[in-house]
Each structure stands twice: as structure tokens, then as C-alpha cells.
Amino acid sequence: MKRNLMLILPLALLAACSNPSNEAPGGPGRDELAPAPTAAADQKAVAKLDAQQLLANHWVLESATDSSGKRIDALFARTEKPVTLDFVDGRVAVSNTCNRMGGGYTLADGTLTISPLASTMMACTDKALMALDQAVGSRLEGALKADLGSNDQLTLHTASGDVLVFGPRPTAETRFGGPGETVFIEVAAQTKPCPHPLIRDMQCLQTREVKFDDKGLKVGTPGAFENFYSSIEGYTHAPGTRNVLRVKRFAIANPPADAPSQAYVLDMVVESAVEK
């Protein structure tokens, strides 16, 4: 008997310039027109931020304060999964909110401009999660001053004075040195014992590749399930649940003799069903 739990997820997604004050002429050995150190630091920070750096990382929210310096608690409703930004193909995707959110963006002269965010329409029973969407959306739209700090943290300044600080986490493309290949893998509900000389009682996922056309419909006949000796980063298997996953597959340069030559990273779960 099969009971569907999830539907296919939609994926249409998703300086302040200070005017230096005129200083009195300096003493011997000083440059009377030397720029203020803070201005030089600001210019360096803005110069470091470019589109490639945005693309190379997942940006995880680490701190958020309002114009008075008070922590914005509403942005931390999911302490175990902080709000995360991903910049891809001219769009920013917001994850770990109640709904998936996304919109277009541009970056120019230290200003990150984000268009109005679209989102899925899932209702969360937790009121704090529902409020999280509004708290994020109201702050991540329009023109934001953007710069990188000394720890390569992305700092966004809103027009109302809020300051959001995001820490960088290298994307799989950055870690593996390339774009990877997108494939769909069906994972059977149950694992099976699989022989391995170094691991006693090893259990393997049972997987097979499936294909979809440009309309999202399955095409062809998938082969038999086989032992999957690798792992899928970001995926935790629940026994009894069959999943179809969209993953990125990367070639690993110079892997050890007893290690896989490919790495798999979960992109999204596109289909899920409990089987009994």
C-alpha cells in the first residue's frame, strides 16, 4: 500500500560614502590630503564584493540588528536552519524560511538591488515561521548597501538601518571545481546488505537513475535498483520512504584508491512516498 506524502515542489524559484572632513595641515612628514583610514577601509570592502563571490557561496544568516542595535529575533525562528541566500543566474533564492522565496537581483557599485520576492504558498502551523517569511521579505527587497567584512562575511544594510550579516559557505561547485551534472535518482524505500571488505554489516541505499522531459514528466523505463556505495550530501534516508531526488554529480579529482570517484549533492526532493 502506498501513501503519498509530498507533491513535486515548485521550482520556479527560486558605501555609505562619508565626506571626509577638512583637516588642518599636518605636521612634518604628514600628507595633508591623505584620506581618512575609515574611508579607505570602506573602499577596500566594497571593491572586494563582486558577482563571482556571491555565486561561489551559500550565505547563512549569522546576525541581524535593527537601527538601535537590537537583535531582530523574528529572523531566527529556525535556529537549527538559519535563513540562507543563494545567488544563481541573476536570481537570489531564500531558503530555510516557511516558504521558498526568490527574486531577481543586480549588483553595482556596492549596492545589491533585489526585486519583489515571489514565494510558494505553503502554510506553516508554527506562527513564528509564518512571521519569518514577512520579516525576511520586508528586508530583502529594494536597494541594499552590500559589503564584505574582514571574515568575508556579507553585510547588508537596509534603508531603515537594519544590518544583516551572512557567513559564507562554499557551494559544491566551488568545492569540486566545476558546475557538476544534474541527474535524478530514485531511492528505494529500504536499504539492503551490500558486501564491503572494510565495513561489517554494511547497508546500501538502493538507487536507479530516472529521467524527465522538459515538462517534468518521467520518460523511459528505469533500470533495476542497484547498491549505492557512495553517499548523497544533504540527504538523510528514512527507512520505508521512497524518494526521487534531484542531485548534482561531481567528478572528484585524484580520489584515494578505495574512495568513490564521484560526489553527489542533494539539490531537492522532487517526489516522496511512504511504502508499507
pTM for the predicted model, two decimal places: 0.72
267 with 200, same domain?
yes
The most confident of the ranges 115-124, 157-166, 214-223 is: 157-166
83 with 186, same domain?
no
pLDDT of residue 255: 85
Confidence band, pLDDT 50/70/90 cuts, at residue 48:
low
- Please say which residue of 109, 144, 170 terminates a domain: 170
210 with 130, same domain?
no
For residue 144, pLDDT over 90 is answered with yes
- Select from 170, 138, 168 the least CA-distant residue to 155: 168
Q: How far apart are CA 222 and CA 216, in angstroms?
A: 16
Above pLDDT 70, what percent of the chain? 83
- Please say which residue of 170, 205, 232 terminates a domain: 170
Q: What is the pLDDT of residues 181-197, one digit of tens each?
A: 999 999 999 999 998 77
Q: What's the structural domain count of the chain?
A: 2
Confidence band, pLDDT 50/70/90 cuts, at residue 66:
very high
For residue 8, pLDDT over 50 is answered with no
- Out of 30-34, 173-177, 204-208, pick the least confident: 30-34
Spatial CB neighbours of 135, under 8 Å, sequence gap ≥ 6: 72, 74, 75
pLDDT of residue 28: 42
Q: How far apart are CA 112 and CA 123, in angstroms?
A: 29
- Please say which residue of 170, 191, 222 terminates a domain: 170
Q: What is the pLDDT of residues 75-85, one digit of tens each?
A: 999 989 999 99
217 with 165, same domain?
no
Domain that holds residue 187: 176-275
Q: Round the average pLDDT of the chain to a whole number and report it.
A: 84
52 with 165, same domain?
yes
For residue 149, pLDDT over 90 is answered with no
For residue 46, pLDDT over 60 is answered with no
188 with 159, same domain?
no
194 with 130, same domain?
no
Q: What is the pLDDT of residues 91-133, one digit of tens each?
A: 999 999 999 899 999 999 999 999 999 998 888 888 998 899 9
